[in-house]
Structure 1
C-alpha cells in the first residue's frame, strides 16, 4: 500500500486556537485524509492524503465552515480578520448613536440593525460548526446578542457585537504578525543571482539556480543559496539568522548560508543546495513543525478551557432559570446570564499559551536558536545544570598543526613527507597537515590506511607512514618529548619511514572564539557548567582553564555510556541541558531535560536534540529567550483567568453588564496577544 502523501496548506480565516481545533476535527473526518495536523500559530494544515484529490473534498468541507484552504506557497491577500463587518457595524452603531439625539424614536431600530448586521457572520460560522463545537465563541456571542435584543437591550447588543468584531480583527492582525515572524527568514533570500557560465556572468532568477552552479556575490548583496567559497575573501554578516552582531571573514573552502550579507569584498561560490531547499528553508520548516508539538502549559490550558466553558454555561443556565424562581425579576437574571455567556468564551484562555510559544519560537529562529517544540522552550527555562561536550562544541572540532618535533630529518623535509602521505587520508589530522603552511609538493603513491595504526604511502620508493606514537618503540628523548606534549593537551602523530621514527607532529583543537564569553553569560544566568569529554584529563584541563572552568568542572575519560549516566544523575538534581555535536553525544542529548546540538554537528546529534544552535554564542540567548517566554506564558494565564474571574464575580453581583463582559473577553485577548508579541522584538 502506498504511504500517504503529506501536503501543506495555508488556512485562511483561522485566527484563534478554537478555530484551529474546529478545522483539525473537520479535516480528520474528510474521506481520503489519513491524518491532519493544524497549527494555529503558523496558520498551516499538514494533510496526510491517502486518496488523490482528497484535498478538494477538504477544501469544500472547510468552505462550509467559513474557512479557505490554500496551497502553502500562496500569499494571503488583503487585511486579516472580519474588518469589513467590523467597519460596517461600527458605522451603523455611530449612526444609531447620532439618531439618539436627532431622532430618538428611531435610535432603538438603528442599534438593532447594527447588532443584526454584526452578528450575521458570527451566526453563520456558529451554525456551520455547530455539530463540531456547539459552545464555540461565535455561538456564545450570537446567543448573547439575540438574547439582549429579545429583552430590549439593543444598544448593548450592538456594542457587544462591535467590540467582539474589533477584537477578532486585532487578534487576526496580531496572529498575522506572529506568523510573519516565522516567514521572515525566507525573505532574506535575494530575488536574483549572478551565475557564472561559459559566456560570462548572467543575471538569473533565484529559481534557476541548481546544485553545482557557480555564482558571484558582489559587495552589498545577499548570498542566493548555500554554497562553498571557490574564490575571494569577504566579510559576511549572518546576524539576521544567527544573532551574531559582527560579520565574520569567509574565504576559500568556507561554507556560507543563503541569505547572509556580503558586507565587504566579493565571493565566487559553488551552490550546494537549491535556494528553496537550503538552510533557511530548513530553519523555517523546523520552526513550523515545532508549533505542532504542544508544551505542557498548552495542554493544561486546553484541558482547562474545555471544562471551563461548560461550567460557566451551567452557571448561566442556573442564573437565568433557577434563581428567578426564588428571587423573581426574570429579566434581570436573564441579563446577567447573557453576560455570563460572553464571559464563557474561552478565546483568551486558549490563545494565552500558544501565542507566547509561537512568538518565542519565531524569535528564536531569528536569534540562531531552533526550538523543535513548545515543550523544549518551556523546559529549558527550568534547567539548573549545563553539560557540554568538548570537541566540536567548545572547540572548533578542526585540529591545527601546532608544533613539528624533527628527529632524524629537518623540519621542512618532515613536513613535506607528512603532507605527501596525508594526501590519501580523510582523517582530521591529515587534513590539518594538508592545510599547514610549509613545504610540500612531494609525489606519493600506493596510499593505504590500517585501522588503529595510521596511513601509509610510498615516497621516493620508500614506505612512509603517519602512525600513533604508542605503536612504535620510541627513543627515550623522543618519548620524553611526546609525554610533555600530551600533558599540554596536544594530540600527536608520528612520522615513520621504513619503520624508523622521523618526527613528531603535535596538533591542537582551538577553543571556539565565542566559548569563554558564552560560558560567562551562562554563569550569570545561574547555570552550573560541566565539561564532559572522552579525552584524557591532560588534554581537557588546558582547554578548561582557557575557558575559565575549574578542575572540579571537568569530567574526562568518559565513554558515551558514562556521559549518559552522568546526565541522568544531573537530570534528577534540578534538570540539565546537554550541549553536543557528535553521534556519541546522541544518547545523552536524548536523555537530558533539554538536548541542544550545534548545527555544525552530525545529523544524528541534531535529530536527538530538542534544540538546534547555529553557534555556541546562541546558547545564552536560548536560555534567556526560554525564560522570557515562560514569564510571558505565566502573565498571559494570569491576565486571561484573572480578568474573566473578576468580571464573573462582578456580573453575579450585578456590578457589570454585557459591555463589561465583552471587554473582559476581548480585553484579555488583546492583552495576552500584545504581551506575546513583545517576544518578537525582545533583546536576547
Structure 2
C-alpha cells in the first residue's frame, strides 16, 4: 500500500508546479499517467494548488508526455514563475479560433448552396477534427477503458451527431465545449492567483555580507548566519534577527496588518515584509524553504488539497451520476424507437442527454470555492488549513476564548495611580526605583509607567533593598524605609486599615485589578492598580459574535473575581475561572456535547489540549510561531482578534456559495433533461446548459475574492 503524502520523506519526494490544470477529472487522469511512468513509485496531484508530488525518478519531459492529453506544462517547484502568454494567445485557444472560422464558412456555404451540401459537410468535419483533436484523443482512450468522464461523453455525442448527419451541430458542440474549457482554465488560474501573489511577495535575491565581502546572491544560496543588508523601500528576502539599525516594517503581506511595526536590534523580522524607513542589517536565521512565508505558502497549498465535506459528497455523487447518465441516454436512444419511434430523432435526443449530463459544473462547484476562499484568507493574514475547517467555521455555534493573550494583551499595565496625600510623581518615582530591583511580574509594569511619565528613577538612591517573600519589597530612600506590597502587608505593619482605604482597594479589585500599596511603617502613601489590559478590539468582536447568535465563553486560570470583572467588560456570554489546562480541555468537550460545533481561540502553546478538543482550533499571533501553525486548524498571523468575524463571514459566504453552486448545477441539468419529454432538447441547448452552468458556478465562486477584512 502506498504511503500517504505526509509520510513521504524529503529525500524521496520531488515537487513540481503544473500549468493548465483546470478540472478534477484531468487531475486524476494525469496522476494515474504519472504513476505508470517507469521508476515512479507513487504520485499525488494537488488540484487546488496545481502541484504534483512524485516519489521516484523521472524527468520534466516524461511528466509533460503524461500530461500531453491536456497540454500540461510542468516546472520545478523552485523554478521562477513563467510569464504566461495572454489568454487569447494561448496555443490551446488558437485551434478554437481556426475551428470557429471554418465552422462559419461551412455554415455560409450550406446556406448559399443548399442543393450541394458536400463542401459544407467537409468543412464541418474539418472544424470538428481541428477543434476537437485533444478531446477525441482523450475521449476515445477513456472509452476503450470504459472510463466515463466529460470528455468521453462529449466524444460519443459528437461522433454520434456526425453519424446521424448532424455535422453542423457536432462542430458547434466541439467549439462551445472548447470555449467552456478555455474559460474554465482562465477561472481556475484566477482563483489560484491568491497563492501566486504570496509566492511573489519576497524577492528572489538579496545583498549579503560574508566576512568583508558584499554580494548580490539568489535566496537559494543564502546561508544561516549571513548578514543581509536591507535599504529603505526594499523587501526582506529572508527571516532573521536585526543586528544593526532601526526601522518600521510593513508586515501586511504576512499578518494582514496595515499598520507598520517598529523593529530595532534583536527584533525578529520576516521574509516578504517591506522596510519603510531605515537601513537594516539582519542576521539570517532560516534557509529559504524554512521561512515563515514559505511555511504559509506550503500550509495554504496543502489546505487547498484537503477535500471539504461537501466536495467529498459531490465526488461520490458524480461517481454514480455519470454512468447513470450514460445508461439514461442509451435508454432514450434505443427504447422509444423499439416501440415505434424514429431512430434518428431519438438517437439525437440521447446524444443531447449525454452532453447536458456532463458533470463539469457539479464537480467544479466546490473546489473552486474552497481554493478561492482559502487564498483570500491567506492574503488577509488568516491560514485555514483545509476545506473541512473552512466549512466548520461557518457552522460554529459556540466559541471559547483563552483570556490571557487572547482577549487581553497578556502584558500587565498600570491602570490607576491613587496618591493618598503628597506628590504623585515623587511617590511613583520612588516606587519605580525600588521595583527596578524586583523580579516580580508586576514590577515591570510600574517601571514602564514611570518611563512613560518621564520620571527619572536613576536619581533615586536605593539602600538596604530586601524582598519580603509573598508580600512585597522594602528599601531605604534618604534614610526613610519604604514598603511596596499587597494591602495585607500594610495590615500587618499598621495593625489595622482605615475603612475608606479598604473600600477603595475593594473597588479597584472588583474591576479585576491587582492593587499594590506604597507606604512607610507609619502610613500608606499611594495605591497602584495593575491589570492585564483588555485588547481594544475584544469587546467589539464579542458583541459581533453575540449578535450573530454565537455563544461566547471566556476560559481562564485567574480567580473568579478578576475573571468576572474582565468578562463583564468584554461582554462574553459565560465565564469559567480557576481552570487548569486539563479543565479547559474538559470544558471544551462539554461544549461540543452541547453544541456539536465549537471553536477554541488560544495562543497555540499552553492551550494545545483545548485547541485539539474543539471542532476548530484557532491560534492567535501565528507569525513566526511554529507551534501555532502546527497545532491549530486556523491561525491568525497577527494578534488582531477582528480576524475572527472576518473568518466566520468568509466561511459562511463560502458555505452559501457552495450550496448555491450544487443546487444550480443539478437544477439546470434537470430542467434541460425535462426538455426530452416533448422532444425539445437539442445539442445546442445541451452544450449551452452545460457550459453556462460551469461558467456560472465558477464565477459565483470567484465572488469570494470580494470578501474583505474589515479590520
TM-score by length of 2: 0.81
Partner of residue 44 from structure 1, selected from 39, 51, 62 = 51
Partner of 2:523: none
For 1:59-78, list aligned pairs within 5 A.
Answer: 61-63=66-68, 67-74=72-79, 75-76=81-82, 77-78=84-85
- CA distance, structure 2, for counterparts of residue 2 and residue 166 of structure 1: 39
Deviation at 1:520, TM superposition (A): 3.0
Deviation at 1:595, TM superposition (A): 1.6
The answer to whether residue 650 in structure 2 is matched with residue 640 in structure 1 is no
Moved more, 352-361 or 232-241: 232-241
- CA distance, structure 2, for counterparts of residue 110 and residue 302 of structure 1: 39
- Asked if the contact 1:401–1:432 (Cα under 8 Å) also holds between the matched residues in 2, the reply is yes
- Asked if the contact 2:244–2:282 (Cα under 8 Å) also holds between the matched residues in 1, the reply is no
- Equivalent residue of 2:457, what SS? coil
Partner of 1:498: none
Partner of 1:98: 108
Partner of residue 137 from structure 1, selected from 143, 150, 153 = 150
Deviation at 1:675, TM superposition (A): 0.8
Deviation at 1:141, TM superposition (A): 1.0
The answer to whether residue 386 in structure 2 is matched with residue 373 in structure 1 is yes
- Equivalent residue of 2:617, what SS? strand
Aligned residues: 656
Moved more, 252-261 or 570-579: 252-261
- Equivalent residue of 1:599, what SS? coil
Partner of 2:32: 25
Partner of 2:554: 531
- CA distance, structure 2, for counterparts of residue 300 and residue 382 of structure 1: 17
Q: 1:675 to 1:5 in 2, by over 3 A?
A: same
Partner of 1:147: 160
Q: 1:324 to 1:132 in 2, by over 3 A?
A: closer
For 1:315-394, list aligned pairs within 5 A.
Answer: 315-394=328-407
Deviation at 1:152, TM superposition (A): 0.7
Partner of 1:569: 590
- Asked if the contact 2:557–2:580 (Cα under 8 Å) also holds between the matched residues in 1, the reply is yes
Moved more, 628-637 or 182-191: 182-191
- CA distance, structure 1, for counterparts of residue 39 and residue 517 of structure 2: 65
The answer to whether residue 650 in structure 2 is matched with residue 616 in structure 1 is no
CA deviations over 1:446-488 (Å, ceiling 9, x no partner)? xxx9xx98999xxxxxxxxx99979999835699799887555
- Equivalent residue of 2:21, what SS? coil
Partner of residue 95 from structure 2, selected from 69, 85, 98 = 85
For 1:244-263, list aligned pairs within 5 A.
Answer: 244=257, 246-252=258-264, 254-262=267-275
- Equivalent residue of 2:371, what SS? helix
Moved more, 655-664 or 607-616: 607-616
The answer to whether residue 439 in structure 2 is matched with residue 439 in structure 1 is no
Partner of residue 278 from structure 1, selected from 291, 296, 302 = 291
Partner of 1:499: none
The answer to whether residue 573 in structure 2 is matched with residue 559 in structure 1 is no
Deviation at 1:591, TM superposition (A): 2.1
Partner of residue 475 from structure 1, selected from 478, 489, 492 = 492
Q: 1:85 to 1:442 in 2, by over 3 A?
A: farther
- Asked if the contact 1:65–1:129 (Cα under 8 Å) also holds between the matched residues in 2, the reply is no
- CA distance, structure 1, for counterparts of residue 324 and residue 386 of structure 2: 31
Partner of residue 563 from structure 2, selected from 534, 537, 540 = 540
- CA distance, structure 2, for counterparts of residue 73 and residue 443 of structure 1: 61
Moved more, 119-128 or 634-643: 119-128
- CA distance, structure 1, for counterparts of residue 44 and residue 100 of structure 2: 36
The answer to whether residue 172 in structure 2 is matched with residue 159 in structure 1 is yes
- Asked if the contact 1:370–1:613 (Cα under 8 Å) also holds between the matched residues in 2, the reply is yes
Partner of 1:592: 614
- CA distance, structure 2, for counterparts of residue 353 and residue 592 of structure 1: 25
Consecutive unaligned residues in structure 2, runs of 5 or more: 1-6, 420-425, 474-482, 519-525
CA deviations over 1:189-215 (Å, ceiling 9, x no partner)? 245556678879976665565545253
Q: 1:81 to 1:494 in 2, by over 3 A?
A: farther
The answer to whether residue 256 in structure 2 is matched with residue 268 in structure 1 is no
- Equivalent residue of 2:546, what SS? helix
Deviation at 1:390, TM superposition (A): 0.8
Moved more, 591-600 or 199-208: 199-208
CA deviations over 1:242-277 (Å, ceiling 9, x no partner)? 444x424424365444333455x3352534445554
Deviation at 1:37, TM superposition (A): 2.7
Q: 1:358 to 1:335 in 2, by over 3 A?
A: same
Deviation at 1:509, TM superposition (A): 2.4
Consecutive unaligned residues in structure 1, runs of 5 or more: 457-465, 496-502
- Asked if the contact 2:229–2:280 (Cα under 8 Å) also holds between the matched residues in 1, the reply is yes
TM-score by length of 1: 0.83
- CA distance, structure 1, for counterparts of residue 42 and residue 363 of structure 2: 23
For 1:195-274, list aligned pairs within 5 A.
Answer: 210-212=223-225, 213-218=227-232, 220-228=233-241, 236-244=249-257, 246-252=258-264, 254-262=267-275, 265-266=277-278, 268=280, 270-271=282-283, 272-274=285-287
Deviation at 1:97, TM superposition (A): 2.5
Partner of 2:683: 658
Q: 1:61 to 1:494 in 2, by over 3 A?
A: farther
Q: 1:600 to 1:145 in 2, by over 3 A?
A: closer
- CA distance, structure 1, for counterparts of residue 580 and residue 315 of structure 2: 43
